[in-house]
Amino acid sequence: MPDRDANGDLEIKPHQVTVNIESGVQPKYITKLDLRLIPLLGCTYTVLFLDRTNIANARIEGLENGLNMPPNGYNTCIWIFFIPFVLIEIPSNIIMSLRRVKPSTFLGINMLLLGIISTCQGVTQSYGGLLALRFLMGIFEATLPAGAIFLISEYYTRREASLRMAYFFTFGALGPCISGLLAFALRNMQGIGGKAGWRWIFIIEGILTILLSLFVFLFVPDFPEKTKILTPDEKAHLLQKLHDDKGAQKLDLKSIDWLKVLGDWKIWFPVLLFFCADISAASMSAFTPTILKEMGYATATAQVMIMPIWLTGIIAQITGAWLSGRIGWRAPFVLLGALLATAGWIIQLVYSQNRSLAVGIRYFSLFAMSAGTYLQFTMIMAWLTNNLRGRASVAVGTAMVIGLGNCANFVAANVFIKDEGPFYPTGFRTGLGLTVAGAVICVGFVGILWVKNTKLEKKRARDGGEDDQVEYVYQY
């Protein structure tokens, strides 16, 4: 059971269990946690991406004509989703941190409502109705990815976290991948029930969200100190291991200096990194089907050719996370991802200027962008949680990175101007500039962490002391 400090606040404190975190030998219950946490929460992320990105598939199946949308109506549908998405993330994670809130109930309710609203996109009869539904979707989807990452991070040590983050983001990459396959199949439902094929894309994928919410209600576990999926000995072992790795964590949120948490530079650097990385994912999710179609591929072929692009991202992030977990570094992989994405953007920009590149080269650039982007996502989230202490900081930090980092979608939705297609010079210049800026920010973040660590080493060499998880060595 969790203990209380002198002020009565709940803490995770050490238990009388022998734990050797550095042995490299995983306790058997780790597999139990992996199987219970990652597939289910990962599937929620897959379905979220289906619901978020299927509008791109619906677009090339006739969405704009079907609802008589204005010239920039599609772009508005993209960015209006992210207004509530950005605003809700932080309060959502704070609510989920409250002692009486169960993650399964909180996430399940939000996913159920998201599924209902997503399904309604397939029956709306007006452009205004679609805008309203996209706005409501942003509210309920905002609670889910940050909440899932928050819960996962609470169960694993810093060394274990990167690979689990990769597994989780892998499910996210499956979203647009599966979306193309489903759209390819659902387009053949044209006319069934008197509905256009693009409507069935929204309806079927929304129903999938509703069905998955039932599993969230039933099987998502509580936080580690309250979990019922481990035996008492396994639970004590886990709490001891987490304490040794992260120190005593306050579980209640009272007496928290929220201004200090919100202004933490260790959160803001990953926020900026995620923003710069997400410009690639935001652009690809919204416009890759259209780009492929404009490259000369038929609509059906374009839907299918999206899949290997996202599969490349999956392979890159799992491989990177596995290597990162072995060597304990995050920054080199963030830089590598930025370089890969930069190469992809350069190819797109060259094409927009001379318009003479072969189709295959432009298609290859999408693979580079996918690999670089998803590699960065995993490493940035692991890097963030590795350098934070306390449930309040982790809850707010993950929410800020996912929420504010996704503001890149506002940029992507407004720089890929329909009248500039299929060359999109404004969009490609913006994507390249932000990706390069991300690499610069990464180097700067490493420099600051190195200076902080150097000062701490000198202080300990002079005064003695060891890593007490209050004043601790940062990971980079």
CATH label of the domain that carries residue 245: 1.20.1250.20
**400 near 341, Cβ under 8 Å?**
no
* Side-chain half-sphere CA neighbours of 192 within 13 A: 13
**Pairing, β 3-4 against β 10-12:** antiparallel
**435 near 411, Cβ under 8 Å?**
no
Residue 195 lies in a domain: yes
Structure tokens at 417: 């101007």
Cα 385 to Cα 151, 180, 362, 451, distances in angstroms: 12, 32, 36, 20
What is the domain extent for residue 138?
29-222+241-251+265-461
pLDDT value of position 194: 80
Q: Which residues fall within 8 angstroms of residue 272, CB to CB, at 6 or more apart?
A: 438, 441
Q: What is the pLDDT of residues 283-310, one digit of tens each?
A: 886 667 667 776 777 666 766 787 788 8
Residue 22 lies in a domain: no
| Number of domains the chain contains | 1
Give the three-class secondary structure for 294.
helix
Residue 407 lies in a domain: yes
**431 near 409, Cβ under 8 Å?**
no
**307, β-bridge pairs:** none
Please report how the helices 158-186 and 265-294 are oriented relative to each other, as an axis angle in degrees rounded to 10: 20
**153 near 397, Cβ under 8 Å?**
no
Residue 117 lies in a domain: yes
Q: Quickly count: other Cβ atoms within 10 Å of residue 2's Cβ.
A: 16
Structure tokens at 216: 């969230």
Q: Quickly count: other Cβ atoms within 10 Å of residue 55's Cβ.
A: 23
Q: Quickly count: other Cβ atoms within 10 Å of residue 294's Cβ.
A: 15
Q: Which residues fall within 8 angstroms of residue 164, CB to CB, at 6 or more apart?
A: 34, 37, 38, 152, 156
Adjacency order of strands within the sheet including 249-250: 3-4, 10-12, 249-250
**12, β-bridge pairs:** 249
Residue 394 lies in a domain: yes
Residues of the chain with pLDDT under 50: 1-10, 12-25
Cα 63 to Cα 69: distance, rounded to the nearest angstrom: 8
Provide long-range contacts, Cβ within 8 A and 24+ apart, for 194-200: 195/122, 196/61, 196/62, 196/66, 197/61, 197/62, 198/57, 198/58, 198/59, 198/61, 198/62, 198/63, 198/66, 199/66, 199/122, 199/123, 200/122
Residue 406 lies in a domain: yes
Residue 260 lies in a domain: no
Nearest to 299 by CA among 137, 150, 183: 183
Peptide bond into 270 cis (omega under 30): no
Residue 15 lies in a domain: no
